[in-house]
Amino acid sequence: MDFSAVTKPVERLLATAQNGLEVLRYGGLETGSVPSPFQIIQSVPMYRLRRYFPPDVRPGAQDPRPPVLMVHPMMMSADMWDVTRDDGAVGILHAAGIDPG
């Protein structure tokens, strides 16, 4: 007899309950990570153009570096470039001296 029709949903339910308990036990999904600073340069219904680490426009500030244009796949959020300030692509490029505009 094949009991997989019953055991598979029960296993999935137990795994979901275990994941929920771990979220409660370890304090939720908050990691304390902060995103990289950005400003919206242009916003239209089809897209929003972000400028990460906006250049310093105060007198005597360094000239801004040429920006890198990063385009995400349409099925992904633009936040994929900035998962965390330290470990996201935007933060890594900025730390390497590249302007992830």
At residue 28, the pLDDT reads: 67
What DSSP letter does each residue of 34-80 carry, written as one string? Answer: -PPPEEEEEEETTEEEEEESPPP-STTPPPPPPBPP----TTS-GGG
> Are the beta carbons of 37 and 56 closer than 8 angstroms?
no
At residue 29, the pLDDT reads: 67
At residue 44, the pLDDT reads: 92
At residue 42, the pLDDT reads: 92
The model's pLDDT over 18-74, given as tens digits with 9 standing for 90+, comes to 988 887 777 766 667 788 888 898 999 988 888 888 877 677 777 667 778 888 888
Closest listed residue to residue 99, CA positions, set 23, 35, 29, 36: 36
Residue 8 has pLDDT above 80, yes or no: yes
pTM tops 0.85, yes or no: no
Whole-angstrom Cα distance, residue 95 to residue 58?
21
The residues pairing with 40 across neighbouring beta strands, listed in sequence order, are 50
